[in-house]
Structure 1
Amino acid sequence: MTVKVSVVIAVYNPGKYFEDCVTGLLRQSLTPDEFEVWFVDDGSTDETPARLDALAAEHPHFHVVHQESSGWSGRPRNTGIDAARGEYVMFADHDDWLGDEALERMYAYGRANDADVVVGKMAGIGRPVPQELFRVNRPRVTVETAPLIDSLTPHKMFRRAFLAEHGMRFKEGRRRLEDHVFVVEAYLRAKSVAVLSDYLCYYHITRDDGSNAGFQRFDPVGYFKNLREALDVVEDLTEPGPVRDQLFSRWLRNEMVERLRGQRLLKLPEDYAEELYGEIRAVITERFGPGVFDRVAPTQRVVAGLIAADRYADVRALAEWEAGIRPTGRLTSLTWENGSLALGFSAEYEVDGAPMTYRREGGHDLLGLPLSEEAREALAAQDISLAAPVDRSDVDLVVRHREQATQYYLPLTSERHRTGIGADGDGYGDGHGDSAFRQEITARAVLDPETAAAGGPLPAGLWDLHLRIKSCGWSKETRLGAVRSDGVEATRLPALTGEPRRLVLPYWTDGPGNLSLDIDQRTGKLEREAGELMDWAEAGADNGTLRLPLPLHLGSAAGAPLQLRFERKNVGKYPAEATTDGRTLTAALPLERLTGKRWAVRIGIPSPERGEVRWTRLPVDVVVDAQGRARVIDRHTPPAKPATRAPARPPRPLWRRVAGRMRRALAGGRR
């Protein structure tokens, strides 16, 4: 059979992280005769060579090449390209891993769309990955029609014939950004690129010890020398104009301006920061014109202009102010509607604990940045204004798997609101007159557990809600739920959704109290939540019928039978079938079995992944007396003491007690 995909992995002393990489390869849904793996050992000095040889001996589709250390990833990747036999070549790092169906899905998607390059959705575990690129599937795109330039790591599929046609290879030796040079050339030469966003293909991780090569502090001179090589590729393959400026803006934004903002600059040693600034300024003044500046966000344009004008002190002062910026969110509503969780919230930026403000002057909205008069003049000389496009501010709400970092955007609608700020900080007016004003965004998002994962159900596990605010070049993320309105708690119910039914439990995390979801009972929180959310004073029993508050939202399953069970240790477990009107559970008590005892009450919740019903104890017990009368009590109520006691025996007369002591004394003497 023709090999569909060749996976090429450069390996050098990976340590414990290598096992996740290998496990991901062994779980691939492609059969072993449909793909191959080329491990290229670049002179490892630990036990890795022996481990690779053992893998190759055990798995015929795993192959190993041992070579002398080259110092970086370029040469071993080229060795893998030369050895590959697959229709497509996929590059992976030895400390990352692939989704179980990644190779199969990416290959099929590439074939279906005749793509030279296939970009699979990535998740960053402890490190950032592109967000906007993976909002939707993009079957046939170019750098002009999609934000491909946001993703320049090599962890993609490339048609092998395409690489051969253009003689494409990685630059070799100990260097930086060799992946940028390779990937941007591939984007510009490809007739079509396919972006697969509905399946998580690649897990990009941060090592616990921070030893990822890309996280090490670099030599600014060498780094920006290598960056210029990527710019050279763009100049060779594009004409001057909007496309080139748009591509160049990616490096201006990510590799230059963002390194000199906020804590990222302030955490650097002063001498290193100044050297970095000098090299960045050299590239900006050599290679970038106004057209590049115009394609970055307003705040990034300001920083770029200050760099071009050689205003390092102002760059640093602005970084100190930006270090105090925090995104904030308030959860205002949380309700189940037709099987979906509807979330209302508001969001805005704060600076040092106070709302961020903008200026309104002459009918224009302006950034309220703390710039010196000299800095403002330097920016004006470059036609860089402080215009604030607050009418384009927006928010996203994503649901993210806590362990795997898989995330999905939730559909939402939003509105922007501005409020004028008086001299004493009080709000007044609508913010449209000349004044300082703050901006707040209100939104309503919908989370359908059965469609939120790109049209499919969210997998079982713990999912966290993350709010991202985008405004004027700031894009920052925070958790949602720790700040919330008073009425939210009353409507925060667990729910049974989907078919087969499974539990979705919204809960507050320990400590901060952020909003998370437990899907299919990965925690034991349901028992506690049922006790806190429902008014169990409404529970009761009469005429052999039990009535309990319903501790669940049933959605379309309202009216369906639910399972209850009455339990007593060392006695037995007796089931009952309950019906509900959507608010109350009603069940017939098996009185003949319960009479004379106190019983714990459990509700049966289906767990599709485990293929079983999990029983959760409710915060009430049922007591049935000897006459068969039932009542409901709090489960923490101690057992009742007996109603009557046997009469106490009267004390013995004194003469009997004295006679007893004498007999015992005489008996002791005879011994």
Structure 2
Amino acid sequence: MPVKVSVVVPVYNPGPYIDPCIESLLGQTMAAEDLELIFVDDGSTDDSLAKLQAVAAEHPQVTVIPIPNSGWPGKPRNTGADQAKGDYVMFVDQDDTMEPEALERMHTLGAANGADVVLGKVISDFRGVNHEVYRSHRPSCTVFDAPLMESLTPHKMFRADFLREKGIRYPEGPRRLEDQLYMAKAYFAADTATIVGDYVCYRYLRRPDGGNAGSKRFDPAVYYANLREVLDVVDAHTEPGEGRDHFYRRFLRVELLGRLGGGKVLKHPEDYFDALLSEVRALLDERFPASVDAGMGAAMRVRAGIVRAGGREPIIALAKEYNAVKVAAQLTGMRWTEAGFELDVEARLTHRGNPLVLESRDGRLFLPRDVVGAACTDEERRVDDQLDSVHGDVVLRHRELRDEWFLPEPLLVQLEPSGSGQEVVWRGTALVDPASAAGGSPLRAGKQDFHLRIGAFGWARQQRLGAERVEGLSVPDVCVASDGRLVERFDTDPHGNLSLNVGISKERARTLVGRTGVRSASRTQVELVPGAHVEQGAAGTGTLTLRRADGHKSSWPVSTEGGRWVAGAPTGQAPLRPGTYALSLTAPGRWGAVSLSDVVVVTPFGVTSRPASSAPTGAERLTGLAAKLRRSVSR
């Protein structure tokens, strides 16, 4: 039977950090006979080779190929791809993992669509990932109609004959941007690509020892010489003009301007900064026409102009101002509904804590001078031609696994007058259905945090949601999701951000239901502040039991109509007599009986409620005194 997928893993001194990788590959749902796992040991000096050979002895789908040390992953990847028997080749790094269904899903969808390259949704707990690539599940696309170029890491699945027919191979030995060169060649040569966006396939994991291959400081001259080779691939497959400019903007934004902004640029030693700037300017002058700048967001156009003009101080000054541009968001509503959990969001840009107000003049809008400085032109800072590209989303991110999902629907963007200018405002409602929010599948169990992600004029900003909210927002703490799991809504401590905990225990849910409080009380009715959300028609009613200290008990049915929990004395039952009543609740739903922390106090002066631990009120003390007097008289 032919092998469907060959997984190639370059190995060099991973120590114990290769164990999760091995386990994840052996744990794939794809049948072992359809799978080939090729570990290419690049001259490891630890016990990795012996460990892998022991694994191969137990698992016939595992092959181990030792080679002399080459010092870089290109040679091991080429060696593995050359030896692969599978229809597709998948590259995996030694300290990363794949989710159980990843290879099966990627191969099935890719093979069904004749894809030359298959991208599986990537998640990382330390490395930046452009999640926009995986926003949509795309069975068939190309580099010209999908944002493939935003993902230039090699952890993809490739049709093996495609790699051989097109002669796509890694440069071998130490060098920079070898992944970008490989992926650029593959994307442009591919007739069809597939994106698996509805399932987390690949995980970049942070090593506790900090040994991940990462973004260490590089030699600018070497780095940008290698980038020229990547640009040569773009040039070979595009004509001068907008088509080529489109691809060049990705490299200008990330590899050139991105290296001269953010927090890191403020920490560079002067000699390194000057060397970096010199190489960036040389490449800009050599390969990037002004038309590339013109198609970018205004914030990046301004930075490009300042970088082209040269000079360390203006670039650093601009970086400081851009770092001071934030997004301020607040919750304006939240509720459980039949569809799930909904939250209403409003967001605005700020600069140094104040609203960022666009300048308005002659029907045009501009980034304000206090942000971009005096050196740029009006055309560079103009934004009224870019409003269609402003976007905003609420995303849900698993706190531990880092799985991240866009929530429906994207926020709406509006302009609102502010003084003599205009503010950009995002508003909308995001919905979480725990049974389907993970690309149509159930969310993984655990704590999930809400984040706002916006893009405007070349700026990208993120922020946790919930710490700022309008007054008076209150919703039950727990709900039964449509798939039957118990979901807790909570605010983080101490920041007060909004989160969900999916799949809590029944005991935890009962504790939350026990937080049900009393909103109002009379001698014949008690309205509760619900501790749980109950869907319409679910379990109908509950029972509120009110027990006096002398043992007298009243049991009232609880109605849940309209989301209100109201307990009322049944017809013919006497109203509550004076006394302090402890409350227990058999809540609507499947919670069981719980004791409540509030008590209802009935006195000759009225009916009140308070926490059970509170000291007696003055009215209660008078009631108690009257009872003692009555007992004395009776004696």
Q: TM-score, normalised on structure 2?
A: 0.84
Q: Could you say what secondary structure the match of 2:493 adopts?
A: coil
5+ residue gaps, structure 2: 547-555, 570-580, 601-608, 616-626, 629-635
Asked if the contact 1:547–1:586 (Cα under 8 Å) also holds between the matched residues in 2, the reply is yes
Asked if the contact 2:170–2:182 (Cα under 8 Å) also holds between the matched residues in 1, the reply is yes
Q: Does 1:88 align with 2:73?
A: no
Q: 1:523 and 1:466 mapped to 2: Cα distance?
A: 28
In structure 1, give the amino acid aligned to 2:423.
R
Residue-by-residue CA offset, 1:52-88 (whole Å, 9 max, x unaligned): 1222122221111112221111011001101111110
Judged with a 3 Å threshold, the aligned counterparts in structure 2 of structure 1 residues 420 and 634 are, in CA distance, closer, same or farther, namely closer
In structure 2, give the amino acid aligned to 1:457.
P
* Deviation, structure 1 residue 529: 4.5
Judged with a 3 Å threshold, the aligned counterparts in structure 2 of structure 1 residues 140 and 614 are, in CA distance, closer, same or farther, namely same
Q: 1:562 and 1:156 mapped to 2: Cα distance?
A: 54
Q: 1:535 and 1:512 mapped to 2: Cα distance?
A: 27
* Residue of structure 1 equivalent to 2:395: 398
Residue-by-residue CA offset, 1:528-573 (whole Å, 9 max, x unaligned): 654556327659999xxx997642111244344779999xxxxxxx
Judged with a 3 Å threshold, the aligned counterparts in structure 2 of structure 1 residues 634 and 355 are, in CA distance, closer, same or farther, namely closer
Asked if the contact 1:348–1:469 (Cα under 8 Å) also holds between the matched residues in 2, the reply is no
Q: Could you say what secondary structure the match of 2:186 adopts?
A: helix
Asked if the contact 1:503–1:605 (Cα under 8 Å) also holds between the matched residues in 2, the reply is no
Count of equivalent residues:
591
- Residues 111-260 of structure 1 mapped to structure 2, 5 A cutoff: 111-260=111-260
* Residue of structure 1 equivalent to 2:466: 481
* Residue of structure 2 equivalent to 1:31: 31
Q: Could you say what secondary structure the match of 2:274 adopts?
A: helix
* Deviation, structure 1 residue 261: 1.2
Asked if the contact 2:517–2:597 (Cα under 8 Å) also holds between the matched residues in 1, the reply is no
Q: Could you say what secondary structure the match of 1:55 adopts?
A: helix
Q: Does 1:517 align with 2:500?
A: yes
- Residues 257-656 of structure 1 mapped to structure 2, 5 A cutoff: 257-370=257-370, 371=372, 373=374, 375-376=375-376, 379=377, 384-387=380-383, 389=385, 391-392=387-388, 393-412=390-409, 413-421=411-419, 435-488=420-473, 490-499=474-483, 501-521=484-504, 526=509, 529-530=512-513, 534-535=517-518, 538=521, 550-560=530-540, 581=561, 583-584=564-565, 617-620=594-597
In structure 2, give the amino acid aligned to 1:268.
H
Which stretch has the larger CA shift, 231-240 or 315-324? Answer: 231-240
Q: 1:616 and 1:25 mapped to 2: Cα distance?
A: 46
Q: 2:506 and 2:226 mapped to 1: Cα distance?
A: 49
Asked if the contact 1:138–1:196 (Cα under 8 Å) also holds between the matched residues in 2, the reply is yes
Q: 1:107 and 1:93 mapped to 2: Cα distance?
A: 19
Q: Could you say what secondary structure the match of 2:435 adopts?
A: coil
Q: Could you say what secondary structure the match of 2:75 adopts?
A: helix
* Residue of structure 2 equivalent to 1:4: 4
5+ residue gaps, structure 1: 422-434, 567-575, 589-597, 607-612, 624-631, 645-671
Q: 1:342 and 1:261 mapped to 2: Cα distance?
A: 36
* Deviation, structure 1 residue 620: 4.4
* Residue of structure 2 equivalent to 1:573: none
Q: Could you say what secondary structure the match of 2:33 adopts?
A: coil
Q: Could you say what secondary structure the match of 1:120 adopts?
A: strand
* Deviation, structure 1 residue 342: 2.1
Asked if the contact 1:306–1:312 (Cα under 8 Å) also holds between the matched residues in 2, the reply is no
In structure 1, give the amino acid aligned to 2:596.
P
Judged with a 3 Å threshold, the aligned counterparts in structure 2 of structure 1 residues 550 and 349 are, in CA distance, closer, same or farther, namely closer
Residue-by-residue CA offset, 1:605-662 (whole Å, 9 max, x unaligned): 99xxxxxx88785434999xxxxxxxx9966589xxxx99xxxxxxxxxxxxxxxxxx
Judged with a 3 Å threshold, the aligned counterparts in structure 2 of structure 1 residues 534 and 547 are, in CA distance, closer, same or farther, namely closer
Asked if the contact 1:137–1:198 (Cα under 8 Å) also holds between the matched residues in 2, the reply is yes
* Residue of structure 2 equivalent to 1:427: none
* Deviation, structure 1 residue 4: 0.7
Q: 2:173 and 2:523 mapped to 1: Cα distance?
A: 77
Judged with a 3 Å threshold, the aligned counterparts in structure 2 of structure 1 residues 111 and 622 are, in CA distance, closer, same or farther, namely same
Judged with a 3 Å threshold, the aligned counterparts in structure 2 of structure 1 residues 107 and 633 are, in CA distance, closer, same or farther, namely same
* Deviation, structure 1 residue 9: 0.8
Q: TM-score, normalised on structure 1?
A: 0.80
* Deviation, structure 1 residue 295: 3.2
* Deviation, structure 1 residue 483: 0.6
Asked if the contact 1:497–1:554 (Cα under 8 Å) also holds between the matched residues in 2, the reply is no
Output the aligned Cα RMSD: 3.5
Q: Could you say what secondary structure the match of 1:103 adopts?
A: helix
- Give the fraction of aligned pairs with identical amino acids, expressed as a percent: 39
Judged with a 3 Å threshold, the aligned counterparts in structure 2 of structure 1 residues 226 and 337 are, in CA distance, closer, same or farther, namely same
Which stretch has the larger CA shift, 470-479 or 531-540? Answer: 531-540
